[in-house]
Amino acid sequence: MEIICSLIAAVASIVGSMVFVIFHSWAHKHSVIITNIIAGMMLTIACLHLIPEGLIFNYYGMLYSLLGFVLMLFLQLFLHCETNINKHSVLLITSLALHSIIDGIILSITFQRGVQIGLLATLIILLHKLSDGITVAGSLLHQNSSKYAIFYLSILISLLTPLGTTISALCFKSISMKLLGALLCMTAGTFIFIATIELIPDILHKENNNNKLLSFIYFVSGILITMIAG
C-alpha cells in the first residue's frame, strides 16, 4: 500500500514539473519571475515544514540544519565537476534528491504505524509534491537546463520517493525517529543554502531585473503558494 501511495506522490511531483517542460519557452523568458517564486517556496518548505517536523523527532534538529548548510557551502567551494552539468546544478539536484528520498521514508514509517495515519501522510505529501515538482523544474530552469534535461531529471528525482519508501520498508523497519528528524533538518539546511546563496543573490544582481518591488511580490507569492499547497 505504501509503495502505491509513494508512486502516486511521485506522479504528482512529475505533473508539477511537466508545466515547465510544456511551457519551456515561456518559462525561460520569465525566468526572473520564476526564480523569485522558487526562492520563496524553498525557504517556506524549509522553515514551515522540514525544520518543525524534524524538531519533533530530534531536539538537536537546528544543529543538523546548520550542518546541511555548511555541507552545501563546502561542496560549493570545493566541488569540481568534469561533466557538462555545472556545480550549481549538482548542488540543486543533490538537495532536491535528498528531500525526495526522505518523503519516501516518511511514507513508509507512517504506514507502519497504521493505514489511516499512512493515508493522511500520503495526502499531505501529495499536496506539497505538486509544489516540489515546480521547485525541481524551476530550479533547473534557473541553471539554464534544457527542457529535456528538466524532463528526465524531474522524473529521476520524483522516483526517488518510491525508492525511499521501498528501501525503508525492506531494510529500515525500525529506523530511529531521531535519525529521521536529523535528515529532515539537514535537508532544510540545504534548501536554505540554495535559496539564500544561489537564488536570491542572483535575483538581486540580475541585469534584466529592474523592478525590485515586483521581485519582492513574486518572492512572497512563492511563500503563499507553498503555504496553501502544504
**What is the C-alpha separation between 40 and 220, in angstroms, rounded?**
6
- Please count the structural domains in the chain: 1
**pLDDT tens digit sequence for 67-76:** 989 988 887 7
**pLDDT tens digit sequence for 19-67:** 777 777 777 677 677 778 888 888 888 888 889 988 998 999 999 999 9
Half-sphere exposure of 170 (CA within 13 A, CB side): 7
pLDDT of residue 182: 87
**What is the C-alpha separation between 74 and 155, in angstroms, rounded?**
27
| Domain enclosing residue 144, as ranges | 2-18+33-229
From 2-11, 89-98, 118-127, the region with the lowest mean pLDDT? 118-127
- Please say whether the beta carbons of 16 and 132 come within 8 A: yes
pLDDT of residue 118: 60
**What is the C-alpha separation between 182 and 137, in angstroms, rounded?**
26
Asked if the structure places residue 25 within a domain, the reply is no
Asked if the structure places residue 223 within a domain, the reply is yes
Asked if the structure places residue 27 within a domain, the reply is no
Per-residue pLDDT for 229 more than 70?
A: no
**What is the C-alpha separation between 182 and 72, in angstroms, rounded?**
16
Asked if the structure places residue 24 within a domain, the reply is no
211 compared with 200, residue with greater pLDDT: 200
pLDDT of residue 66: 95
pLDDT of residue 165: 81
117 compared with 219, residue with greater pLDDT: 219
Asked if the structure places residue 37 within a domain, the reply is yes
Q: State the DSSP H helix or E strand holding residue 153, giving kind and residue range, or none if neither.
A: helix 147-171
**pLDDT tens digit sequence for 77-91:** 766 554 445 556 667
Asked if the structure places residue 9 within a domain, the reply is yes
pLDDT of residue 193: 87
**What is the C-alpha separation between 221 and 65, in angstroms, rounded?**
24
Asked if the structure places residue 153 within a domain, the reply is yes
- In the DSSP assignment, the letter for residue 85 is S
Asked if the structure places residue 189 within a domain, the reply is yes
**pLDDT tens digit sequence for 112-157:** 656 665 665 566 566 566 666 777 777 777 666 777 777 888 888 8
80 grid coordinates: 569540481
